[in-house]
Amino acid sequence: MPDPLHDFPTVGGQTLRALARYPSRVAFSWPGGSITYGGAAELIGRMQKVFARLDLKPGARVAFLTANRADTWCAGVAAQLSRLSITWLHPLGSLDDQLFQIEDSEAGMLVVDADTFRDRGGDLAARASDLRTVFTLGPANYGVDLLAAAEDAGTATPRCFAGPDDIATLNYTGGTTGKSKGALRYHRETGGFANAILSDFEIPDTPRYLAVAPISHVAGTKVLPSLIRGGTVHMLKGFDPDAVFKTIERERINFTLFVPTMIYVMLDNPALDKTDLSSLQLLLYGASAMSPSRLVEGIERIGPVFSQLYGQTECYPVSVLRKADHDPKTPELFLSCGFPIAACEVKILGDDDHEVETGEAGEICVRAPHVMAEYWKRPEQTAETLKSGWLHTGDIARADERGYMFILDRKKDMIVSGGFNIFPREVEDVLSQHADVAMVAVVGIPDDKWGEAVTAVVVAREGARPSAEELINLVKTRKGSAHAPKHVKFVSELPMTGVGKVDKKVLKAGFWVGRDRMVG
């Protein structure tokens, strides 16, 4: 039975309270403009008034295609307050991927950032069969300009009509190893995420947060916590290292979030040593493993501000590796994805769903208020992922005696070579510690003798030329001959997904062409 007495407040309700507390402070700024907390609340109210006229059913999905913008974030809040659910399309996704997510989610409404995605939005509007309404932010030759409609709507006070049993979000997994799936959350599963972040992440007291990674994904989860703390969110529409450096220095940014590839680009940029980054207190990174040697370099050149986050679309956050854990004197912890946050119960379970012994490999399994409710329209995969009352993350890891977790790999990425089970992450962790290796991905490729041959795909540091033999011997010495790559391929770059993870589907496909079997 529903229990309104003990329900967590909805995200929309929390947002309205945060905006009401500091009406005159700047909530959002971006190159060329800003909006106060009071102004953001008023814009949300106007947009809510526009949405109310559409007479959409509760739970109707609204898809968003946008760069980092304050007004699209406000539109998302307005939709959720109005009992609509939101689906963020990845801004770097392909047309086919975005179209699949619109159609799979059965979205009836699309909101497009016309400044950045006018043409793509037009293609989606023309091809998506079930769309009833298309809004653009800014004028376009299709749809209705939401900003103009909100202006015409007149003043309106935003109100939260949503309850715990209304659908809040339907967001799609990254699809690095298979077809993207929609993770559905009601407000009941969404309400506690900001508190979970504020409890365990070392977010400054008054955040000056730089959102440069897409707010459609993990960077967006730091917006509400920043506003609850009375901070300002500075929006950049894309990753331009020069713009990042200038913004941090000018706005005295104290908190930001990057994927490792962004950090590598910054470390290689000559502007780094000429920029005052002394305001930075917290640099969160995640989405993929970071090279330990580059992490040490980052700590030396930027400061002891690094903290690693771990989670997934199905449950975020799960764990955090805090700043104090990033000690160059104990670099072995750099390979950890952190310690479970207070809001999560986390165990390493074997195939029988019983907890494994300390130090043994098993699957990271999670219980938490913010775990997804289900995979949209995928009951069999939902049952498999949520079996035995645990979210099975698909990440294989071991935990040390203190409870720090070390991811070995995705369950689907395991390589079976000569009868041995090999987790690519273990090989990647060894190779990434070589001074001449900038990035590395390890996959299994078909081999008549071994079944699958361990293959390392390596991006060398600029100006360096590591030898394949040297890298193979490094793994052989550290992990043994079974783990040693049979092949090393040097490339200029690795294929990446829009969220900054190595796309192993693409990597593997090139090796498995013409074979009967395709892994993962």
More confident residue, 482 or 322: 322
Banded pLDDT at 520 (limits 50, 70, 90): very low
Structural domains in the chain?
A: 4-189 (3.40.50.980), 193-410 (3.40.50.12780), 414-512 (3.30.300.30)
> CB neighbours of 97 closer than 8 A, spacing ≥ 6?
90, 175, 180
- Model confidence at 499: pLDDT above 70: no
DSSP string, 23-57: TTSEEEEETTEEEEHHHHHHHHHHHHHHHHTT-PP
Decide which of 145 and 287 is more confident: 145
Q: 102 by DSSP, 3-state: which?
A: helix
Q: What is the pLDDT of residue 184?
A: 97
Q: Residue 350, Cα to own-chain centre: how many angstroms? A: 26
User: Is residue 274 very low, low, confident or very high in pLDDT (cuts 50, 70, 90)?
Assistant: very high
pLDDT at 515: 44
329-353: average pLDDT: 92
**What is the structure's pLDDT at 329?**
86
- Percent of the chain past pLDDT 70, that is, above it, reads 94
Three-class secondary structure of residue 464 per DSSP: coil
Strands 61-65 and 109-113: parallel
Position 206 pLDDT exceeds 70? yes
Q: Which of 133-147, 183-197, 482-496 has the lowest mean pLDDT?
A: 482-496
Q: What is the pLDDT of residue 17?
A: 97
Both structure tokens of 44: 């949300």
92 vs 26, residue with greater confidence = 26
Judge whether residue 288 has pLDDT over 90: no
516 pLDDT band, cuts 50/70/90, is: very low
- Residue 277 in this model has a pLDDT that exceeds 90: yes
- Mean of the per-residue pLDDT values of the chain: 90
Task: Give the residue, 411 or 138, on which the prediction is more confident.
Answer: 138
Pull the structure tokens for residue 57: 């059913």
Contacts 24+ apart (CB under 8 A), 200-203: 200/317, 200/320, 200/341, 200/342, 200/343, 201/225, 201/282, 201/284, 201/307, 201/309, 201/317, 201/320, 202/281, 202/282, 202/307, 202/322, 202/323, 203/229, 203/255, 203/282
Q: Is the pLDDT of residue 300 over 50?
A: yes
CA–CA distance, 407 with 81 (Å, rounded to integer):
38
Q: Which one is predicted more confidently, 418 or 73?
A: 73
Q: Where does residue 441 rank: exposed (0-12), middle (13-18), buried (19+ CB within 10 A)? A: buried
